[in-house]
Amino acid sequence: MAERILLINPNSSRSCTEGIAAAVAPYAAPGLPRLDVVRIEDGPPAIVTWRDWFGIAEPLCRMVEREPADAYILACVSDPGLEAVRTVTDRPVFGPLRCAVAAAMMRGERFGIIAFTDKSKPRQRRALQSMGVEERLAGIVPLNLDMEVLTDPAAPRPRIAAAAKELAGMGAESIILGCAGMAGHRAFAEDSCGLPVIEPCQAAVVQAILAVVAARGERMRAAAE
């Protein structure tokens, strides 16, 4: 059976889901795991509040329980339900924010985050605290735009460019796009500020591919013994 990595968008936005799929499409290739992107159809329009964040954990658990895959990515940049989902599967589960932070720290000492809204900031800070890396954060700049504006191919770009430049001025050496709705704007953001810009779903896919391919190698070695 072909290996599969399942990316689950915990919100119900079609445009956000399509943007995630387009962002990770270049990572699909012969010999690598298949990348499937789905959404929680009855999820909130976006993960905005702590109530959204906590409330989506059980739907994510149920989807993972019924959808077999070799690795899972919870495709929201506040990593909702990560700890809960890890209790219902023995396969690796990745949070895009944590993967993006790891990637950003490989590109410089300090990183900044372009957040979805002001309400995103405490959830993302908690994740940084859990990783022990909050002191590496140069700053967080929120866009405070609706999801359907954020996923538009042109509408949010002036605000994204301004946020990226503001973070560069705060001392960031790399920048994380703090919402999966920005997935289509990575190259633009990078061009606008001249710093490396990390798209978290892409960062998570890289880590998931490494985990799945490593597990394949272990199975092959075991079969050869």
Predicted confidence (pLDDT) per residue in 104-126, tens digit = 999 999 999 999 999 999 999 99
Residue in the structure block whose two tokens are 């915990």: 10
- Is the pLDDT assigned to residue 1 strictly greater than 70? no
Give the pLDDT score at 2.
Answer: 82
Give the pLDDT score at 214.
Answer: 93
Residue ranges covered by each domain of the chain: 4-95, 97-201
pTM of the model: 0.94
Give the pLDDT score at 224.
Answer: 80
CATH, domain 4-95, list 3.40.50.12500, 3.20.20.80, 3.30.1370.110, 3.30.413.10: 3.40.50.12500
The sheet carrying 93-94 orders its strands as: 34-39, 4-9, 71-74, 93-94
- Tens of pLDDT, residue by residue over 62-95, are 999 999 999 999 999 999 999 999 999 999 999 9
The reply to whether 97-201 shares the fold of 4-95 is yes
- Tens of pLDDT, residue by residue over 132-188, are 999 999 999 999 999 999 999 999 999 999 999 999 999 999 999 999 999 999 999
User: How many residues are given for the chain?
Assistant: 225
Which has the closest alpha carbon to 87: 64, 69, 53, 55?
A: 64
CATH, domain 97-201, list 3.40.50.2020, 3.90.440.10, 3.30.420.40, 3.40.50.1860: 3.40.50.1860
Q: With contact defined as beta carbons under 8 Å apart, do 59 and 43 qualify?
A: yes
